[in-house]
Copies of this chain bind each other. A is one copy, B any other.
């Protein structure tokens, strides 16, 4: 926090504009030894030009060897050290589905599960029920559970996953999970870690009791498990830290949610680059900082579709001239983490990044790709939290430190 605060003290205002383009899960791996990654395979003349004129490197979203989730990875890009700024599972789930969590709310991540006749868990995910069933069950609970003085929200997420939010005065998130994280055991009691959480603990016990009755005859999802009780974090906001009036353009609620968590304005948009860039153009005069998010690269990686990821990167490349026409002062193109198609999941590999501005000191990198970026002046594994200070410096938005 202290470095963030130091930087905050140096922030100054001008009319510069910073554009941060994030291709989710951008980093990749080659399909065979000495082969090319998705980004290296993609034909990206526009990104290559920015890389040649700018500075390059690969950033570490959380730390060496650590595979980030989307939440922490984006926090790092926004300048918040993900190891320091941690958000509970429940609050993250709320952020992820765009639920408007209030300061006093307590949120939990829920699973619909299956219990046997003796009440022991036989399947923690109720056979991964489909999302429509999850929606039906969530609505049932949302409607029928009644707790005096408490507003109860049960919102479907996906498959067996749901969000529980309790709204009342004097709630605390210091409550233990009811999910024992294994089968053959009964769900646990929601024990309070501290006396101030006694009230919340009783409310949760009441909720679970009522839910057990309501779900009793459902098949296979006849019970639920709760974990990660948490509240909204009390963090310094992006504009307080960096003096930037910022907006997020993202098709998925999760990314708008993380952006809103740090105080950015978030614009919903179809999952369509053309529409995202149209929104960017439309709001260009309204903000100082623009976070533009492309989700599909990550999805293609998770699907193991190497070629599709290549082609999506090329789609983004074709949009770059449109962004440059807006005359941004600083452009950053990167990913939040790596999602190599050959792994079909997020990975720990550092993430290629280029930063372009008229005042950067170009390095020797001539194209945008993992191996090229390893020779960049930003290094082959620099902390993601350095990105924002660099962006501000290149935008002329940081005063001199000391005389």
Contact = CB atoms under 8 A, between A and B. Distances in A.
Contact of A66 (B10, B361, B364): B10
Interface in A55-78: 58, 62-73
A350 interface: yes
Interface residues of A, number: 69
Given A363-B371, A398-B66, A83 B33 contact: no
Central interface residue in A96, A399, A401, by most chain B CB within 10 Å = A401
Central interface residue in A65, A343, A349, by most chain B CB within 10 Å = A65
Interface stretch (A201-209, A315-323, A386-394): A386-394
A350 B377 contact: yes
Contacts of A7: 65-66
A103 interface: no
Closest 10 A/B residue pairs (Cβ): A65-B389, A69-B402, A65-B393, A72-B402, A64-B386, A377-B380, A348-B393, A69-B403, A65-B390, A67-B400
Interface of A: 2-3, 6-7, 10, 29-30, 33-34, 37, 53, 58, 62-73, 82-83, 86-87, 89, 92-93, 96, 343, 345-350, 359, 361-364, 370-371, 374-382, 386, 388-394, 398-403
A401 B89 CA distance: 12
Contact of A392 (B53, B65, B73, B347): B65
A364 B371 contact: yes
Contacts of A82: 401-402
B402 A68 contact: yes
Contacts of A86: 402
A37 B386 CA distance: 24
A116 to B, nearest CB: 27
A400 B346 contact: yes
Nearest to A70: B403
A107 to B, nearest CB: 13
